[in-house]
A and B are shown apart, each in its own frame.
Chain A
Amino acid sequence: MASSLDRKLLRDLGRSWGQMVAVAAVAACAVTAFVAMGSTYRSLLGSQRLYYAEYRFADVFASLQRAPDSLAARIAAIPGVARAETRVVRDVTLDVPGLAEPATGRLISIPDRGRPELNDLAIRRGRYVAPGRTNEVIASEAFAEANGLRPGDAIGAILNGRWEKLTIVGVALSPEYVYEVKGGGAIFPDNRRFGVLWASRAMVAPALGMQGAFNDVAVSLGAGANEAEVIAQLDHLLARYGGLGAYGRDDQISYRFLSDEIAQNRATATIVPGIFLAAAAFLLYTVLSRLIATQRPQVGTLKAFGYSNTAIGWHYLKMALAAVGAGLVMGVAAGAYFGFRLTRVYQIFYRFPMLHYELSAGLVIVASLISLLAGALGAVAAVRKAVQMPPAEAMRPPGPARYRAGWLERMGIDRRVPLEGRMIVRDIERRPWRAAFTWLGIAMSVAILVVGFYFFDAIGYLMRLQFETVQREDVAVTFSDPRSAASRYNLANLPGVLRSEPYRAVAARLSYEHRSRRVVVMGERAAGILRPLVDEKLRIHTLPPEGIVLTRRLGELLGVKEGERVTLEVLEGARLVRQVPVSALVDEPIGYSAYMDLDALNRLLREGGTTSGAFLKVDPREAPRLYALLKRTPAVRSIAVKQASVESFKDTLAESVKISTTILVALACTLAFGMVYNGIRVALSERARELASLRVLGFSRGEVRTILLGREALLLAAAIPAGWALGAVACELIARAVASDLFRLPVVITAQTLAIAAGIVVGASALTALGVSRQLDHLDLVETLKTGE
């Protein structure tokens, strides 16, 4: 309305620009977190949907021993099946140039002519295999990149017991391997040692002894088809051909990971920005209400001259909206940038052919609404108080505040406390709410920092748990076929092997009542030391001699308790079905697995001393020789070198967590800084008059400084432990929200995180205090006297 009022607005904004910038920064942080995480979530979800649809990702998958091609027509005829594609699939040992240890290649057949009907490939480089040319393969992109392979390069592979040379003609992506892991217990990608190779059926089938036959089928469902029904029919059909149990997308490892990741993202995209927004709203409220409270006499004057409550309210609302609006714009821009970066980071292990980044208008609108509303509420609540007061009272210079001896002094501490201390205590006691708000504000900043750094803690903890406590072997060897215990002794005799512990890994379906899950049952030596059973709290459990041990998550999924019996359906060989008692449930943070004593498992499967592989402890000096030897051993399908996994984990997952956590921590720091800065600045403007009067009365600068900053210091000291507690609660909430079937974030907060969180807040306070004390030194004493009182 009035341009003079707007001029006042501009001047006021300019005069308290530091606070306005802090308010804007806080709003910007919250909006950045909200937009970045929200858009990443949407983008991932959108990419997944788009990719699966465009490249015809299958709905049901099944592996089997061997079936004649003629069976394909009967599979396609199952009611509900829209399309069916049979394939030949086998893991083969690879010799990759530049890699000491052997790698595993999953050789998948593709039609000789035309594109795959399901799980189509996106050619990224090179070309599709040419009909009639043998030994041409297309390599998966992650594998090719990790090993520096380009079209034209050659790799070795053991096919039917002989080394063959394969030529890479193209590099591709498949919706089946958005997340490229081997499966069967391997959870983190190891792109150097595992890759997918696609080759024409005409080449793959003879090489693997599968002419006129297939050992894998993918099926897509028609509209309204019942997945469980199709799976049952397929199992029935494939039973005679050594079917290993059909499964839907939920059990398809890449789909599972990607979907879990997206679900986790959705949880973090809600909770983390939620915490930020709550903190920002709270800060906006306190800062604005106190800022406006210091303008109370001006509100009174405006009212006295006939400005209406609406006009005054709108005036201060504009002030709030200007600051929040600036923050909003910055936040949306930064959020879009970081969201784009984060989406790119996800592409390191979730490979999509198209970079689909989506910042929806809806997300921006919601962010705007929330932040502007928070600012508006803060301003309105504060202005309400000021305009409701009769102008005569609002304009009166605040009379001598009513101090009295509070309970602390009545308890008799006053004798020993110096005058400044007593003034501080009285001030806190006089306005307990204000003190409580300041305290809560600081506690919230500490808590936000704890949350930020917690992600580092959790990942570090998981890495240590996985790679130091659980996987104590140096190398895990997988045999080409399960074999007798005798080969274990061979392994132990190889050069450099210090210790060898066999294991048996069996793909199985566990069911209880109507619930079932596909898992890999690991049979291990109870006395073994290379793969201890470790729970979340790092306690080591011994495998009981009988029965099966499930991770607690798996137990929950099946709804089974200790002592009850589950049905174990072996998904290979003779497909035995057995009842096994659950002997224990263990809290493992990663994956859902089942463990048994090796002998008990062998007995259960009626196989004397069969093993699938072994964990080895290796003398590092002999390692290269050993790896070279293992690579040339056809009986060894693959080996997993732990150190390599650690590094690949660090390069990929840890790297991405680092990026997102760094963003989070940066935001948390800004937020904390904004909170502390505003708290102290507002305290100064509220008390400037009082402090100047004290100076007039002869108090020294130091004494005045002590009175102002002492209060803040006292509140800071009280807020830090509260912030730690608040942060711990928030971490617990986040951990719970992001928990998926495959993965649980442990709630571990290191002392270092607590110290850093407290340190940043103390540092921010100290910096602000420094600036404020400079201002205290230049308090305009004359001004105080001029305005009466």
Chain B
Amino acid sequence: MLQAPKTQTPHSPPTEQAPKGDRIFHVHQVSKIYRMGGVEVHALREVDFDLFPGEFVVLLGPSGSGKSTLLNIMGALDAPTSGEVLFHDHNLSAADDLERTRYRREHVGFVFQFYNLIPSLTARENVALVAELAENPMPPEEALALVGLSERLDHFPAQMSGGEQQRVAIARAIVKRPELLLCDEPTGALDYETGKLVLEALARVNQELGATIAIITHNAAIAGLADRVIRLRSGEIVEIRRNEKKISPAEVIW
């Protein structure tokens, strides 16, 4: 395995990256191969890393490097071709559909690159849709207020801008106060101001709710927000770096 300097391996964590308690996520030797026709695409090659409670982790890497694939596997939206994924001590890679559904329902919130809102439901209803599944959700209005959308409660996705839709998606992801928040390029389609709003919302969730957050981005500026930055290239982790000086969303410039 090609490893950049300062790379952490799960078995010998460098002391400066001391975990804040037990790891909540353990990815071990995970590979993902897509087969289309006769061609095999190695989207992930034997990836290893851990996540720790309350962490804010950024996944960086060029397009096609396997970020989304990794995030989808962590969210049990997709199954790895080989390797193990442990959430606490639940083996997600061996779980059946029912267990994975429970995992997603009880522990994870998603923000997708293409928002994936239900077009026939309003902003409030899209958030309520997920809140109804959770045990201790916040009111949908509160989640929408967190992302600055109090004025748009009854708008349908088609009546909102891309940024607004993305914020609804974030509200939907945080409304159940998830332990783990997985975001695939949440600011990819957003302008500076909106992007900042979104990042602030995420940072607040991280600080106030103590959620562990993994964000995919190819915007290096955002990496400054992270506790740790994981860099991928061609399906491999080439670097895991701990941020010495974490900045606040207000300080992000891009």
Contact = CB atoms under 8 A, between A and B. Distances in A.
Contacts of A391: 77-78
A783 interface: yes
Given A8-B120, A298-B118, A395-B116, A390 B125 contact: no
A7 interface: yes
Contacts of A306: 101-106, 130, 133
Interface in A1-30: 1-5, 7-8, 11-12, 15
B75 A304 contact: yes
A304 B129 contact: no
A621 interface: no
Interface string A296-325: 011011111111110000000000000000
Contacts of A402: 37
Contacts of A300: 77, 116
Interface string A389-422: 0111101010000100000000000000000000
Interface string B61-102: 000000010001001011100000000000000000110011
Interface string A745-789: 000000000000000000000000000000000001001001111
Contact of B125 (A1, A4, A298, A395): A4
A295 B91 CA distance: 30
Contact of A8 (B105, B121, B165): B121
Contacts of B77: 300, 303-304, 390-392, 395
A301 B118 contact: yes
A302 B110 CA distance: 11
Interface in A516-533: none
A506 to B, nearest CB: 78
A2 B129 contact: yes
A308 B101 contact: yes
B132 interface: yes
A787 B113 CA distance: 10
A788 B189 contact: yes
Contacts of A297: 116
A4 B121 contact: yes
B87 to A, nearest CB: 14
Contacts, number: 97
Contacts of B98: 308
Contact of B116 (A8, A301, A786): A301
A8 B133 contact: no
A673 to B, nearest CB: 26
A297 B98 CA distance: 20
Contacts of A780: 158
A397 B116 CA distance: 10
Nearest to B189: A788
A643 B203 CA distance: 95
B192 interface: no
Contacts of B105: 305-308
B129 A4 contact: yes
Interface residues of B, number: 38
Contacts of B189: 788
A412 to B, nearest CB: 24
Interface residues of A, number: 35
A754 B22 CA distance: 76
B118 to A, nearest CB: 6
A15 B158 CA distance: 14
Interface string B114-148: 11111111000110111011000000000000000
Contacts of A392: 68, 72, 75, 77-78
A253 B126 CA distance: 71
A390 B68 CA distance: 14
A307 B158 CA distance: 23
B235 to A, nearest CB: 16
Given A304-B75, A392-B77, A787 B132 contact: no
B133 A2 contact: yes
B120 A15 contact: yes
A318 to B, nearest CB: 14
Interface centre among B37, B101, B112, B132 (most CB of A within 10 A): B101
A50 to B, nearest CB: 54
Contact of B121 (A1, A7, A309, A787): A7
Interface centre among B37, B103, B129 (most CB of A within 10 A): B129
Interface in A48-88: none
A305 B130 contact: yes
A295 to B, nearest CB: 9
B231 interface: no
B172 interface: yes
Contact of A309 (B97, B106, B114, B119): B97
Contact of A3 (B97, B132, B165): B132
A397 B121 contact: no
A685 to B, nearest CB: 12
Nearest to A15: B120
A306 B118 CA distance: 15
Contacts of A302: 118, 129
Nearest to A298: B118
A308 B77 CA distance: 13
A418 to B, nearest CB: 29
B236 to A, nearest CB: 20
Contacts of A298: 116, 118-119
B158 A303 contact: no
Contacts of B79: 390
A393 B102 CA distance: 19
B31 to A, nearest CB: 16
A783 B160 CA distance: 10
A787 B78 contact: no
25 contacts: A4-B125, A4-B128, A4-B132, A298-B119, A300-B77, A300-B116, A303-B104, A304-B77, A304-B116, A305-B129, A306-B101, A306-B106, A307-B105, A309-B101, A390-B72, A390-B77, A391-B77, A392-B72, A392-B78, A395-B112, A395-B116, A780-B158, A783-B158, A787-B114, A789-B114
Interface of B: 37, 68, 72, 75, 77-79, 97-98, 101-106, 110, 112-121, 125-126, 128-130, 132-133, 158, 162, 165, 172, 189
Given A5-B132, A308-B101, A392-B72, 6 more contacts: A4-B132, A8-B120, A8-B121, A11-B121, A15-B120, A306-B101
Instruction: Return the 7 tightest CB-CB contacts between A and B, nearest first.
Output: A306-B105, A11-B120, A392-B72, A392-B77, A392-B78, A4-B129, A2-B132
